[in-house]
């Protein structure tokens, strides 16, 4: 495919209105238009004044690409709304790149962190902070403040809830 300037120049001259619709040039032009429309739609959704979450962006992409229409024609309830809500709960995605949790950290977390636990020793808190930092690219420090640790755990749990679908 050629660069955008090529298609824009030919579009101004009316070239694509006169050529055969079966030609390679016309097919490439249609691909260019589709990608331009996809980008414009995504950019429009992201630039809305209200806060746009990751779920909203994924929904916009699936609408533009036609995936949503195909899935809706196959099934009545695909779980898209629930997934969208879970994606929107990831609060840090728009500010920082979110990484995948390592397998060791995931297994350790699932085995050692229980929702009813209210106190953690130093090594457990250190591991929780390290897992949080590796997922969300932050530089949090270990602390004795349990509300702070609970906040980290809540973000990790939201992250896992989205990706464990």
For residue 149, pLDDT beyond 70: yes
The tens digit of pLDDT for each residue in 16-59 reads: 777 887 888 788 877 777 766 654 554 555 444 445 677 777 78
Same domain, 109 and 148: yes
**Assigned domain for 83 exists:** yes
Q: List all residues 6 or more positions away from 100 whose beta carbon is below 8 Å from its beta carbon.
A: 135, 163
Same domain, 141 and 158: yes
Same domain, 111 and 158: yes
Same domain, 80 and 121: no
CA gap 154, 9 in Å, rounded: 52
Query: Comparing C-alpha atoms, which of 130, 165, 132, 137 is closest to residue 151?
Result: 132
For residue 133, pLDDT beyond 70: yes
Same domain, 118 and 150: yes
Is residue 4 a contact partner of residue 29, using CB atoms and an 8 Å limit? Answer: no
Same domain, 70 and 27: no
For residue 129, pLDDT beyond 90: yes
**Assigned domain for 94 exists:** no
pTM over 0.85: no
**Assigned domain for 42 exists:** yes
Instruction: Print the domain residue range for 42.
Output: 1-47
Question: What integer is the mean pLDDT of 113-139?
Answer: 88
Structurally, how many domains does the chain consist of? 3
**Assigned domain for 123 exists:** yes
**Assigned domain for 132 exists:** yes
Same domain, 62 and 84: yes
Same domain, 77 and 124: no
For residue 147, pLDDT beyond 70: yes
The tens digit of pLDDT for each residue in 66-87 reads: 888 888 888 877 788 888 877 7
Q: List all residues 6 or more positions away from 88 whose beta carbon is below 8 Å from its beta carbon.
A: 53, 54, 55, 56
pLDDT score, position 141: 92
Same domain, 6 and 38: yes
Question: What integer is the mean pLDDT of 139-146?
Answer: 89
Same domain, 62 and 41: no
Same domain, 127 and 158: yes
**Assigned domain for 157 exists:** yes
**Assigned domain for 98 exists:** no
**Assigned domain for 156 exists:** yes
């Amino acid at each position: 495919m050629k660069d955008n300037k090529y298609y824009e120049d030919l579009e101004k001259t009316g070239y694509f209105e006169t050529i055969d619709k079966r030609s390679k040039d016309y097919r490439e032009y249609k691909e260019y238009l589709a990608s331009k429309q996809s980008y414009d739609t995504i950019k429009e959704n992201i630039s809305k004044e209200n806060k746009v979450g990751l779920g909203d962006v994924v929904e916009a992409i699936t609408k533009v690409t036609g995936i949503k229409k195909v899935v809706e024609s196959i099934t009545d309830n695909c779980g898209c709304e629930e997934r969208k809500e879970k994606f929107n709960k990831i609060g840090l995605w728009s500010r920082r790149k979110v990484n995948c949790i390592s397998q060791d950290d995931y297994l350790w977390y699932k085995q050692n962190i229980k929702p009813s636990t209210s106190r953690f020793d130093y090594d457990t808190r250190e591991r929780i902070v390290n897992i949080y930092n590796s997922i969300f690219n932050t530089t949090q420090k270990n602390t004795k403040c349990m509300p702070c640790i609970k906040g980290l755990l809540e973000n990790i749990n939201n992250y896992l809830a989205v990706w464990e679908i």
